[in-house]
Chain A
């Protein structure tokens, strides 16, 4: 069956440019997460969406980062005025419902490189 789909798989951009990363969760999954994986910081939580509730933005590292989820499905993570330290793999995950015991299913990520 279809898993979590992320695009693009790779993105190279110049410092100062804006980037948009897309995530298509598994159909029917109401919870959606963004994480960042980098060599120095490991896996960091960025933002969480659950249904129509207000997102948990507590992991966003700065106001240059934002995300939205349209129609309870597709999500876009936007990074404005990119910096070199934003270089990382950005992972999206989805899960069913709100239960803390539900496993999160991950996409293959977007590898972002800032020149």
Chain B
């Protein structure tokens, strides 16, 4: 069975500092991993995905994520945080053969000016 853990409900970071939002996963077989961001009263916006290939994946708005197979992690990173990055971030996994995404519980990122 697939599962995703986002261990931090809340992450605070100062503007201009690097940010990391953590995600670990458990799936059978090779994972398809995704990060989404949600702004207030909006749906989820796709940021980036890992399917295969390079472990460092680059996505929208300067975000990137590093796939680590041995640690079963897929942490989201950004070198320099912006106040506008403040939002709710979801990590999601999809198993081969599964029809749906399985989401983590979300991490609220607050970037402090």
Say whether B102 contacts A45, CB under 8 Å. Answer: yes
A86 within 8 A of B: no
Interface pair B43/A107, CB less than 8 Å apart = yes
Among the stretches B13-21, B65-73, B79-87, B93-101, the one at the interface with A is B93-101
Give CA–CA (A109, B32) in the complex, Å: 24
Tell me how many residues of B have a C-beta within 8 Å of chain A: 25
Known: A43-B90, A100-B32, A101-B32. A91 touches B100 (CB 8 A): no
Query: Closest Cβ of chain B: how far from A63's Cβ, in Å?
Result: 20
Q: Contacts A43-B90, A48-B100: A106 and B44 contacting too (C-beta < 8 A)?
A: yes
CA–CA, A4 and B43, complex, Å: 10
Contact A100 B44 (CB under 8 A): no
B61 to chain A, nearest CB (A): 15
Q: A residues within 8 Å of B by Cβ?
A: 4, 6, 33, 35, 42-43, 45, 48, 50, 56, 59, 91, 93, 100-101, 103-109, 111
Given contacts A6-B43, A91-B44, A100-B97, 8 further A-B contacts (CB under 8 A): A48-B100, A91-B43, A100-B96, A101-B32, A101-B51, A106-B43, A107-B43, A108-B42
